[in-house]
A and B are shown apart, each in its own frame.
Chain A
Amino acid sequence: MVASQGTGRSKDVTTARGRIPAEPGIWVFILLDMSIFAEMFGIYAWYRAVDHDLFRSSQNAVNPLYGLIYTLLLLTSSWCVVMAVSAARQRLIELSSKLVLWGFALGAAFAAIKIVEYCAKFSAGITPLTNNFFMFYFVMTLVHLLHASVGLGVLVYMRRQVSHLAQSTVGTDGRRMRMIEVAAVYWHMVDLLWIVLFALFYLRG
């Protein structure tokens, strides 16, 4: 490690070979969380390969347009959050705050439409007990929805940190900026995991 900026408990970690975005600790969490999802993806792929006809026929009951809409919402939300971080770095506080709000609104739209889709499935008599495909479909997308819900809370926290940047002192400024990055990294992970779920459940692969 050749440089360390900021004050307080957390510091900006920069090494000779690059800068660790946000905080080192968040990357441990992200890797563990992504490993749990990797395990779920793998088990799904195995069951799908063993009983391909069932998975294929069950997938016909899943409307791919929902998947496309979710993907567009989350990708756009993530892009807003990327720009919000850039704006915060340039101390464009108001703009950054608006961009986080847009990211939140798009994420909330994702969660709301997901609940509508679940209700449509239940009213059509499709539940996690219908078959293995729908067991995976409900469990994996629900675990993701829980991550997205936590992510919405994280975006609220991010917006607060952005608004407090204006009053930050030299000592707290770096720490707030890193917390903003931590929030952004978490939200991008929610987007990243959805990209895989979209491919597994909504595309006719």
Chain B
Amino acid sequence: MKELVYQRATVIFALLLLVTGISFWLTVGHGAANFHEAKSVIWTQVIILAFVKVRWVLLDFMELRSAPMKLRVLFEAWVTGVAAFLVLTDWLVA
């Protein structure tokens, strides 16, 4: 069991929990009070943190880190493209 736990994916799992906690604190906790002053900044932080987590799941849980570059690039493009669209829509359309 120890050998299973002591692997990169466990470190990633801990990081996923940490970033989830940070996102929650930034918005529901601390950040909520300052919402009206910097709503696009908070949205940007939330989206970027979410897609950092998505990328970790793709690379380390779904094992794309060791996959051929072409396959990895497809999913990295999905992460970058969707995150960029969500962030830019808020800054440019709102």
Q: Which residues of A contact B (CB under 8 A)?
A: 15, 17-21, 27, 31, 34-35, 38, 41-42, 45-46, 48-50, 52, 56, 64, 68, 71-72, 75-76, 78-79, 81-83, 86-87, 90, 92, 95, 181, 184-185, 188-189, 191-192, 195-196, 198-199, 203-205
Are B68 and A20 in contact (CB-based, < 8 A)?
yes
Chain B: CB-nearest residue to A68? B24
Complex-state Cα separation, A15 to B71, whole angstroms:
11
The residue that B85 contacts in the complex, of A20, A42, A192, A203, with Cβ under 8 A, is A42
The 3 closest A-B CB pairs, nearest first, are A199-B50, A49-B93, A205-B46
Chain A binding site: helix, strand, loop or mixed by DSSP? Answer: helix
Beyond A49-B92, A199-B23, A199-B47, 6 extra complex contacts between A and B, CB < 8 Å: A21-B66, A38-B78, A72-B20, A79-B61, A82-B61, A83-B5
> Which residues from chain B contact A188 at a C-beta distance below 8 Å?
57, 61-62
Rounded to whole Å, the gap between the CB of B50 and the closest CB of chain A is 4
Are B27 and A46 in contact (CB-based, < 8 A)?
no
Are B82 and A83 in contact (CB-based, < 8 A)?
no
Are B58 and A192 in contact (CB-based, < 8 A)?
yes
Chain B: CB-nearest residue to A21? B63
Q: Which residues of B contact A (CB under 8 A)?
A: 1, 3-5, 7, 9-10, 13, 16-17, 20, 23-24, 26-28, 31-32, 35, 39, 42-43, 45-47, 49-51, 53-54, 57-58, 61-64, 66-69, 71-72, 74-75, 78, 81-82, 85-86, 89-90, 92-94
Are B64 and A21 in contact (CB-based, < 8 A)?
yes
Are B69 and A79 in contact (CB-based, < 8 A)?
no
Chain B binding site: helix, strand, loop or mixed by DSSP? Answer: helix
Are A204 and B32 in contact (CB-based, < 8 A)?
yes
> Which residues from chain A contact B69 at a C-beta distance below 8 Å?
17-18
Complex-state Cα separation, A79 to B71, whole angstroms:
23
Are B61 and A191 in contact (CB-based, < 8 A)?
yes
Known pairs A19-B67, A45-B86, A203-B23; A196 contacts B57 (CB<8 A): no
Are A17 and B68 in contact (CB-based, < 8 A)?
yes
26 sample A-B contacts, Cβ–Cβ < 8 Å, listed by A number = A18-B67, A18-B69, A31-B75, A31-B78, A45-B86, A49-B90, A64-B28, A78-B13, A78-B57, A79-B9, A79-B10, A79-B13, A82-B13, A87-B4, A90-B4, A185-B62, A188-B61, A192-B54, A192-B57, A192-B62, A195-B53, A195-B54, A196-B50, A203-B24, A203-B46, A204-B27
Known pairs A31-B78, A79-B9, A203-B28; A18 contacts B46 (CB<8 A): no
> Which residues from chain B contact A86 at a C-beta distance below 8 Å?
4, 7, 9
Q: Of residues A50, A68, A79, A90, which shows the largest number of chain B Cβ atoms within 10 Å of its Cβ?
A: A79
Q: Of residues B62, B74, B94, which shows the largest number of chain A Cβ atoms within 10 Å of its Cβ?
A: B62
> Which residues from chain A contact B82 at a C-beta distance below 8 Å?
38, 41-42, 196
